[in-house]
C-alpha cells in the first residue's frame, strides 16, 4: 500500500477518524499513529517488520546511553572528559555501524551478488530503509554533539521513525519533528485546507502526470538507439517530467496526509525547474536529502581535520557521488552523481571568479541580475540536469552510451506512437505548475480568488472533468520507492 493507491482511501479515513475522536493528548495521538504506521509497514512486507522494530530499539538504546553519559563540562578534569567522550563515541559507532551495515546489506549485496556470481537468492528491500535510516542517524549524530537533548520517550521515537506518510520515500525527518510528537496536536481550518490542496496537487502529479509521461519514456529507454533522434529527445523530456511529477507529487501527498494529523513535514521540492544555477537547483530538488548530505557528510568533510579540510569544491564532487550511490548500487548512478558533482564544482569555481569581478567592477553585479544572464543560466542548468538523467534512467552504462548516441547522431527509424497528446499534456502541466509560482502569476491568482463563487466552482469543475477524461489506467510504479 502506498499513498497513491486505492487502499489508502479506506485506510486513511479510519485512522483520521480515530485520531481526532480520541482525547487530544500526545500519548494517545502517538499510539494511534504508531499502530497505523506499523500496520501500513506490514501491508508492504510483514516479514521485515521485526527487523524494523529491532533497529528502532537499538537506536533508542543508543539515545538512552547518551542521556546516561552526558558530555563532560569544559571545566571538567581532562581524564573525565576523555572517558565520557570515548564512551559516547562507542555508542555512536554502534549506531552508525548497525544502521549502515543493514542498509548496505539490503541495498548493495544484490550488486555484489550479480558482479561476483555468488548465487545468492534475491533480497526484498525493506520499505523506506534509506529514508528512515537517514532520519535516525541525523537524530543520533545531533544528540552525540549535544545539538539536541536525548529522546526520552520510546513512543515518541517509534512514532518519529515509523510515521506512515513519510515512511516510503520521505521527506527525511529531522529533529524538529520530535518536538511535534512531544506535544498534543490540533487541526486548524487553514491547515486542513492546505492539506487538501497538497493532496489534490500531489495526486494529480503522481497519478496523472507521471503515468502519462512514462508513455514517451519506457519504449525508448527499453531499446535505446532503435528510435529516431526526436524520439530520444521526447523520451528525455518525458523522463524529466515523470521523475519530477512522481517524486514531487508523492512528497506533496505525504505533506498533505501528515498535515491532516497536524504534523508538519519538511518540504521536499521548491519549484526546481525555475533554478538558474546548479547550486540553486539542488537547494530546490529533493531538499530533505540534500540538506542531510550537506549537513552530515559535506560539512564533516570540509571542516574536519585532514586532506579534505577547506576543499569545498572537491567536497561537492564527493558528496554528489555519495548521493549517486545512495540512489543505487550500479555504475550508472555513480556516473550520474559524478556528473552533477563536477557540474557543481565548475559552477563553484566560476562563481568565485565572477564574485572577484564584482568586487573589482560593480557593473558585473547588474549583469548578473539581468534577464539575458538569468535566461542563459536557466537554460544551462535545466539542460544539463535533463541530459544527466540518461544514466539515472538507463539500466547500464552501455545503454546510456547508446541513448546518447541516438540522441546526438540519430540513426534509428522507430517512432513513438502517433497518440502523443497525453504525455505532451503531462509536460504542459509541469510547466504550468512552475509558472504559477512565478511573481507575475500573483495577479492572476488574485483575480481568480476575487471571482464569484460560481465562476470559481465552474473552473474547478472543468478541471476535474478534464482530469477524469484523460485519467490514466493505473497509477504506475513509484520510482523513488526503489531507493
Q: Which three cell numbers stand for residue 150?
A: 536525548
Angle formed by the axes of helices 49-68 and 26-45, to 10°? Answer: 140
- DSSP structure string for 171-226: PPP-HHHHHHHTS-----HHHHHHHHHHHHHHHIIIIIIHHHHHHHHHHHHHSTTT
Among residues 232, 286, 327, 340, the one annotated as catalytic is 327
Alpha-carbon distance 177 to 187, whole Å? 16
Alpha-carbon distance 354 to 364, whole Å? 8
Alpha-carbon distance 406 to 378, whole Å? 25
Alpha-carbon distance 373 to 384, whole Å? 17
- 239, 221 Cβ separation under 8 angstroms: yes
Report which of 263, 268, 254, 266 is spatially closest to residue 8, judged by C-alpha positions: 254
Alpha-carbon distance 246 to 477, whole Å? 9
The residues, any chain, with a CB within 8 Å of residue 356's CB and separated by 6 or more, are none
Alpha-carbon distance 371 to 89, whole Å? 52
Report which of 263, 253, 242, 125 is spatially closest to residue 181, judged by C-alpha positions: 263
Q: Which three cell numbers stand for residue 475?
A: 497509477
Assess whether 232 carries a catalytic annotation: no
Q: Which three cell numbers stand for residue 465?
A: 472533468
- 349, 335 Cβ separation under 8 angstroms: no
Cα→Cα distances 399→179, 222, 241, 333, Å = 47, 9, 21, 13
| Neighbouring C-beta atoms of residue 372, cutoff 10 Å | 8
Catalytic residues: 327
Amino acid at each position: 500500500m502506498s499513498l497513491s493507491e486505492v487502499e489508502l482511501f479506506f485506510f486513511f479515513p479510519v485512522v483520521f477518524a480515530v485520531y481526532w475522536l480520541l482525547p487530544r493528548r500526545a500519548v494517545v495521538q502517538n499510539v494511534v499513529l504508531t499502530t497505523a504506521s506499523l500496520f501500513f509497514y506490514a501491508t508492504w512486507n510483514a516479514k521485515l517488520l521485526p527487523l524494523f522494530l529491532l533497529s528502532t530499539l537499538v537506536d533508542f538504546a543508543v539515545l538512552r546511553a547518551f542521556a546516561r553519559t552526558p558530555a563532560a563540562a569544559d571545566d571538567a578534569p581532562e581524564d573525565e572528559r576523555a572517558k565520557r567522550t570515548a564512551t559516547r563515541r562507542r555508542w555512536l559507532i554502534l549506531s552508525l555501524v548497525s544502521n549502515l551495515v543493514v542498509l548496505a546489506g539490503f541495498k548493495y549485496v544484490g550488486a555484489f551478488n550479480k558482479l561476483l556470481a555468488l548465487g545468492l537468492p534475491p533480497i526484498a528491500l525493506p520499505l523506506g530503509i534509506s529514508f528512515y535510516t537517514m532520519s535516525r542517524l541525523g537524530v543520533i549524530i545531533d544528540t552525540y554533539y549535544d545539538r539536541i537533548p536525548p529522546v526520552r520517550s520510546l513512543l515518541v521515537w517509534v512514532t518519529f521513525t515509523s510515521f506512515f506518510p513519510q515512511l516510503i520515500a520521505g521527506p527525511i525527518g529531522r529533529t524538529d519533528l520530535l518536538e511535534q510528537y512531544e506535544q498534543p496536536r490540533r487541526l486548524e481550518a487553514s491547515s486542513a485546507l492546505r492539506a487538501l490542496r497538497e493532496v489534490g496537487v500531489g495526486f494529480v502529479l503522481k497519478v496523472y502526470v507521471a503515468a502519462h509521461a512514462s508513455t514517451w519514456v519506457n519504449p525508448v529507454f527499453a531499446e535505446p538507439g532503435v528510435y529516431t533522434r526526436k524520439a530520444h529527445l521526447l523520451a528525455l523530456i518525458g523522463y524529466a517530467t515523470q521523475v519530477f511529477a512522481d517524486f514531487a507529487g508523492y512528497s506533496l501527498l505525504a505533506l498533505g496526509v501528515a498535515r491532516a494529523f497536524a504534523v508538519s513535514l519538511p518540504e521536499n521540492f521548491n519549484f526546481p525547474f525555475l533554478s538558474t544555477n546548479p547550486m540553486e537547483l539542488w537547494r530546490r530538488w529533493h531538499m530533505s536529502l540534500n540538506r542531510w548530505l550537506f549537513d552530515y557528510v559535506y560539512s564533516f568533510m570540509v571542516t574536519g581535520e585532514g586532506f579534505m579540510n577547506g576543499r569545498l569544491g572537491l567536497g561537492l564532487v564527493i558528496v554528489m557521488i555519495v548521493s549517486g550511490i545512495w540512489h543505487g548500487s550500479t555504475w550508472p548512478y555513480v556516473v550520474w552523481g559524478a556528473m552533477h558533482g563536477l557540474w557543481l564544482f565548475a559552477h563553484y569555481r566560476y562563481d568565485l571568479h565572477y564574485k572577484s569581478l564584482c568586487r573589482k567592477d560593480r557593473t558585473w553585479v547588474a549583469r548578473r541580475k539581468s534577464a539575458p544572464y538569468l535566461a542563459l543560466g536557466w537554460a544551462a542548468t535545466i539542460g544539463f540536469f535533463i541530459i544527466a538523467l540518461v544514466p539515472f534512467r538507463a539500466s547500464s552504462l552501455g545503454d546510456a552510451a547508446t541513448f546518447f548516441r541516438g540522441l546526438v547522431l540519430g540513426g534509428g527509424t522507430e517512432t513513438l506512437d502517433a497518440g502523443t497528446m497525453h504525455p505532451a499534456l503531462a509536460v504542459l502541466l509541469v510547466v504550468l505548475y512552475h509558472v504559477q509560482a512565478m511573481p507575475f502569476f500573483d495577479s492572476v491568482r488574485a483575480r481568480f480568488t476575487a471571482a464569484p463563487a460560481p465562476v470559481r466552482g465552474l473552473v474547478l469543475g472543468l478541471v476535474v472533468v478534464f482530469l477524469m477524461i484523460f485519467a490514466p489506467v493505473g497509477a504506475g510504479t513509484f520510482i523513488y520507492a526503489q531507493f
